[in-house]
Amino acid sequence: MLSKIFSGATYGIDAYIVEVETNVEKQIPGFLVVGLPDNVVKESRERVTAAIKNCGLKFPVLKITVNLAPADIKKEGSSYDLPIAIGILAASEQLDHQFLESTVIVGELALDGKLRPIKGALPLTFQAKQQGFKNIILPSDSVKEASIVEGINVYGFESLYEVIEMLNGSGSISPVFTPKEEIFSAHSHYLDDFSDVKGQEQVKRALEVAAAGGHNILMIGPPGSGKSLLAKRIPSILPPLTFDEALETTKVHSVAGIMSKGQALIVERPFRNPHHTVSNAALVGGGSFPRPGEVSYAHHGVLFLDELPEFKRDVLEVMRQPLEDGKVTVSRAKMSLEFPAKFMLAAAMNPCPCGYYSDPTKNCTCSSVQIQKYMARISGPLLDRIDIHIEVPAVKYKELSSDAKGEPSANIRGRVEKARKIQHARFNSAKHIYCNAHMGTKEVRIFCALDTAGSELIKMAMTRLGLSARAYDRILKVSRTIADLEGSDSILSHHVSEAIQYRSLDRELWMKN
């Protein structure tokens, strides 16, 4: 007898429906899975067989053929265990078929029939709803993130036996739904606060500008000046995630399988801090079956690269596309996938190998050749894509020993949120532009018009510093953000002056060397 069960698989951060066709016939007993399964899917034969038997159900001693359609797309992962088991039981007439016709089923089976969590529950549920399915069955540990989707019944189960009972009408379970208002009602609480930072007022101002416009920032200073301390506090001054941003971010984390147990939605902006030994694939995504990388995990959040020159040059260079386009395209012979990567890059570095070049209190032990080689590890094109470069000087003893607390993150975040509201209103009709840093060339020309004084100022900076056309656009974007923080509709000359100041610091370092 033939049965058809609907399941699903992820493709990038989206999903597609997979038909699990099971044929059971009276021939020499066997169990074959076809439809381009990988090794994990092939091994499902052993898990399914043991799970059915250990749940006290009858496993048919017949020839079983399972086809995963469409057959021309490679299937990977263990989420096909449950639909295959249900397909076998339905084909051997141990289940009622009616409920299955409008239901998507996904889940991994343990040998005792327990259900284990899967990756991509959120995009799978969205796809099931879009294609008109009324129900989706998932492991209970994955049901929380799926339950955020409205318009579809989401059922969570602990074991195969519970699923069978429900399908046969002997068990009762209600669908799970989590209102988004309930998730967003809890305010984000950050352990790290800017009130703990002594001094560094100029750097705090630069970070406020960066947060207000979503700009990339590079901090240059000696060891112990507080670069990492400041970077870890950036999420505390960023505005809360909107529902659309939270959905996009959650999809990435769901597909990667890094969601916390019982977490329905990511409501805090991600902060990712990869080590400088990270590989290309780990940073931007890749692999034989492409997976997202750190730049995508930081989507709508912060990617912090400490000791920037210590990263391999080829690793840094592959970041050019995500920094420019806000996405990563991973191409393979049989597929091409896109992962979102709109993140705020925060990077930190020393001014030289020993770290004390231009430090007023300690002598630098590096030669000019060593400093040049150290600085040359970061290419000009990459620096062009970093909007703000700020020096972080060593904190003086007087500031360190002071009992006075700095301005709390909540106050800074309040100003940042006001600036972001102005930007949301400005880009209301533009899709996927959430802040000034996301503006394209067209938007820059429309929203970043300068007066005569501002034009003369930026012309002089371009000539003297030898900045590129990309750096010109970056200055305009930062100027627009500074004006937004002041609530100014027009970009004035002092806005441009401050933006140029943030842009010129790295050029001064390069010219000195």
Residues 324-354 have pLDDT tens digits of 888 898 887 677 888 999 999 999 999 899 9
Least confident of 147-156, 266-275, 360-369: 360-369
pLDDT at residue 305 above 60? yes
**pLDDT one-digit tens code per residue, 24-53:** 999 899 999 999 888 999 999 999 999 999
CB 353 within 8 A of CB 374: yes
Quote the pLDDT of residue 511. Answer: 46
Token output for 21 = 């066709």
pLDDT at residue 502 above 50? yes
What is the C-alpha to C-alpha distance for residues 213 and 434, in angstroms, rounded to an integer?
9
SS3 for 31-47 is EEEECCECHHHHCHHHH
**pLDDT one-digit tens code per residue, 5-28:** 999 999 888 899 999 999 999 989
What is the C-alpha to C-alpha distance for residues 80 and 290, in angstroms, rounded to an integer?
19
Closest to 166 measured CA to CA, from 116, 109, 79, 103 = 103
| Structural element, H or E, at residue 97 | none
Quote the pLDDT of residue 332. Answer: 75
The DSSP secondary structure of 40-76, one letter per residue, reads HHHTHHHHHHHHHHHTTPPPP-SEEEEEEESTTS-B-
With bands split at pLDDT 50, 70 and 90, how would you rate the model's confidence at 506?
very low
Quote the pLDDT of residue 187. Answer: 54
Quote the pLDDT of residue 509. Answer: 43
Token output for 71 = 């057959």
**In the chain, what percentage of residues exceed pLDDT 70?**
96
CB crowding 233-270: b at 16 or more within 10 Å, else e: bbbbbbbebeeebbbbbbbbbbbbeebeeeebbbbbbb
Quote the pLDDT of residue 409. Answer: 92
With bands split at pLDDT 50, 70 and 90, how would you rate the model's confidence at 188?
low
In terms of DSSP bridges, do strands 271-272 and 63-69 run parallel, antiparallel, or are they unpaired? unpaired
| For residues 417-424, average pLDDT | 94
Quote the pLDDT of residue 123. Answer: 94
Quote the pLDDT of residue 470. Answer: 78
With bands split at pLDDT 50, 70 and 90, how would you rate the model's confidence at 428?
confident
All structural domains of the chain with their residue ranges:
2-178, 194-432
| For residues 267-275, average pLDDT | 93
Residues pairing with 31 in the sheet: 64
**pLDDT one-digit tens code per residue, 366-409:** 998 998 888 888 888 888 889 999 999 888 877 777 777 889 99
Long-range Cβ pairs for the range 147-150 (8 Å, 24+): 147/176, 147/177, 147/178, 147/264, 148/122, 148/178, 148/180, 148/183, 148/247, 148/264, 148/265, 149/122, 149/125, 150/177
Quote the pLDDT of residue 510. Answer: 42
SS3 for 231-272 is HCCHHHHCCCCCHHHHHHHHHHHHHHCCCCCCCCCCCCCCEE
CB 271 within 8 A of CB 292: no
Quote the pLDDT of residue 185. Answer: 65
- The answer to whether the 2-178 and 194-432 domains have the same CATH topology is no
* Average pLDDT of the residues of the chain: 89
Q: Of the CATH numbers 3.30.360.10, 3.30.230.10, 3.40.50.970, 3.40.50.2020, which one belongs to the domain with range 2-178?
A: 3.30.230.10
> Which segment, 93-97, 116-120, 261-265, 433-437, is predicted with the most confidence on average?
116-120
Quote the pLDDT of residue 152. Answer: 95
In terms of DSSP bridges, do strands 63-69 and 30-34 run parallel, antiparallel, or are they unpaired? parallel
- Which CATH superfamily groups domain 194-432? P-loop containing nucleotide triphosphate hydrolases (3.40.50.300)
**In the chain, what percentage of residues exceed pLDDT 90?**
54
Least confident of 20-29, 69-78, 272-281, 466-475: 466-475
Q: Which residues contact 351 (CB under 8 A, 6 or more apart)?
A: 220, 221, 222, 357, 358, 371, 509
**pLDDT one-digit tens code per residue, 161-178:** 999 999 888 767 889 988
In terms of DSSP bridges, do strands 103-105 and 115-116 run parallel, antiparallel, or are they unpaired? unpaired
Residue type, 316: L
